[in-house]
Structure 1
């Protein structure tokens, strides 16, 4: 795990990685299927593709519905900004040019399996967290710290679920 940044304007990032005893093709089938992610996340509740898309492609959009005890419920539109099959899958939240967050999975074949990392950057676009910071600017560093720790925990949980599914040989919603 690695995390940097203390203020929202610093665009803090977090990255977690794991080695998976499964080929990149099997891991890719999981990370590139965003409709699987709600089953691996406490916060993300549902995902639906937009514009007639049924899977990832450069420029494709999906809507994510999220829920958090302290932040409530919300929906965001995400745009696929990097898509290199078996290597990189990334999406920008809300505005591809100035996202509220940027998320990325990276895969590398390693030691007969796959090195998988998930990285995210908060900002630079304003998000729901910005409103909390506006109300309590003196607590900005604590607010950002707490949220980044939540992201770190969520990413760790997601990677563990991907690892478990990939190593068990399951790659989709049907379990096959």
Structure 2
């Protein structure tokens, strides 16, 4: 895959990072709040722990939540997400179940926290695919426009991710 011609099947990624003047433990409290990105994203509207996981005392790898999203081109939808990486004050990652069903992800998302100087380097990363997502329907309807469709979606993700890490920085630093 080249950056100027992304294809969904290549599982393109986006990564943003920011240095936060707060320790990883303070940043972790924000990152591990599954609804927090809704404060900054133009698309993500919030999340709740899945019904069968609601009794869990602590999040852990394998625990699920349901995310709510809204986009002018698609409308509103919910996704089932499963924690795949969970290490307190270090990494919070999850995969989104695809339209292909359980066991296949339509995307993966991860926050990574690393101590840097007296603060925290916060990185947010995401990967499209390999399973089908709402974007797959647009690509199937207009296969000749796949590169444009995927590039635009990556740009939207980058903008929302940048807003999220910048928002986390503001909250973490204001709490000091």
Structure 1-normalised TM-score?
0.90
Aligned to 2:125: 119
Unaligned residue ranges in structure 1 (runs of 5+): 171-176
Distance in 1 between the 2:146 and 2:106 partners? 16
Alignment of 1:21-170 (within 5 A): 21-50=21-50, 51=52, 52=54, 53=56, 56-94=59-97, 97-169=103-175
Provide the residue aligned with 1:173 in structure 2: none
Query: Relative to 1, partners in 2 of residues 1:104 and 1:144: Cα closer, same or farther, differing over 3 Å?
Result: same
Question: Contact 1:4–1:13 (CA<8 Å) still a contact in 2?
Answer: no
Shift of 1:5: 6.7
SS in 1 for 2:9: helix
Distance 1:32 1:58, change over 3 A: same
- Could you say what secondary structure the match of 1:100 adopts? strand
Q: List per-residue Cα deviations over 1:21-70 (Å, max 9, x = no partner).
A: 00000001100111222112111112110122465211111101100111
Cα RMSD between the aligned structures? 1.6
Unpaired segments ≥5 residues, structure 2: none
Number of corresponding residues: 168
Deviation string 1:96-142 (CA, Å, 9 cap, x unpaired) is 74210000000100010000000000000000000000000000000
Corresponding residue number in structure 2 for 1:174: none
| 2:22 alignment partner, SS class | coil
Give the TM-score normalised by structure 2.
0.90
Structure 2 CA distance for aligned equivalents of residues 6 and 58 of structure 1:
30
Question: Runs in 1 of length 4+ with deviation above 2 angstroms?
Answer: 53-56, 95-98
Contact 2:20 2:120 in 1 (8 A): yes
